[in-house]
Amino acid sequence: MVVDNFLRRAHHLQRGTDSLMPITPLADRIAAWRQLAGREIQSEVVDICDYPRLRGIIESFAPDTIIHYGEIPSAPYSMISRDHAWETQRNNVEGTLNVLFAMHEVAPNAHLVKLGTMGEYGTPNIDIEEGYIDIEHNGRTDRLPFPKLPGSFYHLSKVHDSHNLHFACRIWGLRATDLNQGVVYGIHTDETELDDRLLTRFDYDELFGTALNRFCVQSVIGHPITVYGNGSQTRGFLNIRDTLQCIELASRNPANQGEMRVFNQFTETFSVMQLATEVCDAANALGYNARIEHCDNPRVELEDHYYNPTHTGLIELGLKPRLLSDELIETMLHTVERFKDRVSLRAIDPATTWR
Amino acid sequence: MVVDNFLRRAHHLQRGTDSLMPITPLADRIAAWRQLAGREIQSEVVDICDYPRLRGIIESFAPDTIIHYGEIPSAPYSMISRDHAWETQRNNVEGTLNVLFAMHEVAPNAHLVKLGTMGEYGTPNIDIEEGYIDIEHNGRTDRLPFPKLPGSFYHLSKVHDSHNLHFACRIWGLRATDLNQGVVYGIHTDETELDDRLLTRFDYDELFGTALNRFCVQSVIGHPITVYGNGSQTRGFLNIRDTLQCIELASRNPANQGEMRVFNQFTETFSVMQLATEVCDAANALGYNARIEHCDNPRVELEDHYYNPTHTGLIELGLKPRLLSDELIETMLHTVERFKDRVSLRAIDPATTWR
């Protein structure tokens, strides 16, 4: 069952932007899947911030697993204004709180798989562990939540979620897996390759687009590759196919009752400059005229920093990473080429600053 | 200037409860202070969640210091239902976010003195530091926010605030002092002793009342002293007079621009059982027939735990603690006696459980 209120579509509508590939209506996607896989997906167009309706759906559907993707996912969007900051925190924190209360009241044995972000940790000067850290202090020890240094009001909303989630597991005995996801890149999954009606979202605009995806679009349309600052900012990345693998692995191997299990969901770390260079080279090899341009960093963040996050939990569950390759970038460039007439130049340059 | 929307009065009205001593209307309190001190206090009846109005007030008043007491302060209230949990988190997080945005936009040099709570830390098995902890991990070190284990949706709201506040100081260069306050006890301050119109709130009900205050009321009206569980839960406590001293010290010694300074604002730690015993003994010495009753703990919390929080920052600024004494408890019992006819027996027993 899918529960969606199409909030991302609404945000794009408001800003006059859109996914690179068109996203068909949910009803058509469900019809395509019925046709191709012979499976029926139920759907409800509901805002999960509407608690009575969410609770009713969870009570009647009685899920074994709840995969919670229903959040506003953009750091720049959350930094536009007070209203955008609060819209993001309200929507994300209230929605997750509602899921937790509904589980407590009507589905206490369900397993929640919740999307967090690696951005909750920020860039501390020590190795980042998966959710918790053993601290020795003045001769005593405890295993405590890893300290958080989020870098935007959006990332903060995920930190708030994590604390609420941890509490609900500790107090009510719920079980949850918090997937602190890195930056996702890629266009296709096994499913999207079956039928264009199943194409998934590929955002390239300054608010919802992510580094590698944006760089591919920029290279194809002849826009300079926009690197913020010196580009030595380093983050964890993963292929969109691996995100699905991770969700499946987490769902098939649920957390224990009372446990908030945390995985860092990425497969490799890259600096922004490394990614820009790889895309630039691959594009030029295909005959595009790509070049890198450093722009003033619109964000307030450390550009030169230590970064060594652990990510062994999902590997131990069986994750087989599909690492970044020239071939993947070439495939992405080909797909972007196919849809390049849909690109809005207006949406490319960063317009939202942290200051 | 005072900005208030009388939310606590509204909550008491809704529940049919009230402060032990009557709280006069704000206009009368301001008139009393004008008469006694010759000082004029401006006031605005505004919900700080109304951003345009809050911003306008801060812009025109141009404060040097903003003392932010405007939050729902009750752990049990936040645990009544989904609606109470979200009301608490929404009100507290949105209000504080609004203060931060207003400071960023129209008062970037003001100093924010924000009320946090010792409950943000919970009861970890290591010494609790003041806001930050130096962590050595795999041969590297960093000073990071102290990990949080809050024990209710209310305490979580303060954790969310602390993260938003820290971000605003880091990114925008705001300056703030987060006062992680312990449990406040006591009735009188120098000001309340001047005139009954200046009497301050003294809650004794299960939602808004705190341990020592509740025990005094219970002893005077002949209700058993309600100890939750075995009573070995230990917390930091301070006299209401010391809370005012702390606010004044923090205001007169502001944090630096870009700094979120954190103080643990309490003067002594006691177990609940120690407090119950002290009140019971003092009450019986005055001729009351007090006795202690252990009830099922309505909260989910560790009863036997390590607890050793640091609290040196405010002492270094000059705090002269007024420690708990038999004399103080006797004075409290006398004041409760004066107002005991106002006590509602219905409001005493714990009715809200964490489960």
Is A306 in the B-facing interface, judged by CB distances under 8 Å?
yes
Q: Which residues of A touch B137 (CB under 8 A)?
A: 126-127, 133
Q: What is the dihedral of CA B229, B233, B235, B240, to 10 degrees?
A: 20
Residue A195 token pair: 């039928």
- The pTM assigned to this predicted structure is 0.98
Measured over all CA atoms, what is the biggest interatomic distance in chain B, rounded to whole angstroms?
63
CA B3-B8-B9 angle, 5° bins: 95
Residues of B designated catalytic: 117, 154, 158
Judged by CB atoms closer than 8 Å, whether chains meet at B97 and A90 is answered as no
Contacts of B185 (CB under 8 A, 6+ apart): B210, B211, B212, B213, B237, B238, B239, B240, B324, B332
User: Hey, are the CB atoms on B97 and A86 less than 8 Å from each other?
Assistant: yes
B60 Cβ contact list (under 8 Å, min separation 6): none
Least Cα distance to B58 among A353, A82, A84 occurs for A82
Quick check: A52 contacting B, CB < 8 Å? no
A152 to chain B: which residues are within 8 Å by CB? 167
Tell whether B305 lies on the interface with A, counting CB pairs under 8 A: no
- Whether the CB of A163 is below 8 Å from some CB of chain B: the reply is yes
Cβ contacts (< 8 Å) between A147 and chain B: which residues? Answer: 133, 135, 144-147
A140-145 and A132-137 as β-strands: parallel, antiparallel, unpaired? antiparallel
Chain A residues inside the 8 Å CB shell of B51? 82-83, 86
Please name the amino acid found at residue B318: G
For A147, which of B82, B89, B147 is closest by C-beta distance? B147
Residues from chain B that touch A144, judged by Cβ atoms under 8 A, are 124, 126, 147, 149
Q: Report the alpha-carbon distance of residue B277 to residue B271 in Å, rounded.
A: 10
Q: How far apart are CA B144 and CA A12, in angstroms?
A: 37
pLDDT in tens, chain B (355 residues): 999 999 999 999 999 999 999 999 999 999 999 999 999 999 999 999 999 999 999 999 999 999 999 999 999 999 999 999 999 999 999 999 999 999 999 999 999 999 999 999 999 999 999 999 999 999 999 999 999 999 999 999 999 999 999 999 999 999 999 999 999 999 999 999 999 999 999 999 999 999 999 999 999 999 999 999 999 999 999 999 999 999 999 999 999 999 999 999 999 999 999 999 999 999 999 999 999 999 999 999 999 999 999 999 999 999 999 999 999 999 999 999 999 999 999 999 999 999 9
- Does B285 reach chain A within 8 Å, measured CB to CB? no
pLDDT at B31: 98
Q: Is the distance from CB of A280 to CB of A333 less than 8 angstroms? A: no
Residue A158: active-site member: yes
Q: Does A56 lie at the interface with B, CB-CB under 8 angstroms?
A: no
CB atoms within 10 A of CB B109: 12
Query: Which residue in the set A144, A153, A163 is minimally distant from B156, CB to CB?
Result: A163
CA within 13 Å, CB half, A54: 24
Tens of pLDDT along chain A (355 residues) come to 999 999 999 999 999 999 999 999 999 999 999 999 999 999 999 999 999 999 999 999 999 999 999 999 999 999 999 999 999 999 999 999 999 999 999 999 999 999 999 999 999 999 999 999 999 999 999 999 999 999 999 999 999 999 999 999 999 999 999 999 999 999 999 999 999 999 999 999 999 999 999 999 999 999 999 999 999 999 999 999 999 999 999 999 999 999 999 999 999 999 999 999 999 999 999 999 999 999 999 999 999 999 999 999 999 999 999 999 999 999 999 999 999 999 999 999 999 999 9
What pLDDT, on a 0 to 100 scale, did the predictor assign at position B127?
98
- Is A228 assigned a catalytic role? no
The answer to whether the beta carbons of residues A340 and A220 sit under 8 Å apart is yes
Q: Which of B86, B106, B299, B307 is best to mutate for the A interface (most A CBs within 10 A)? A: B86
Tokens representing residue B169 in the block: 């100081």
Q: What is the residue whose two structure tokens read 């009205």? A: B13
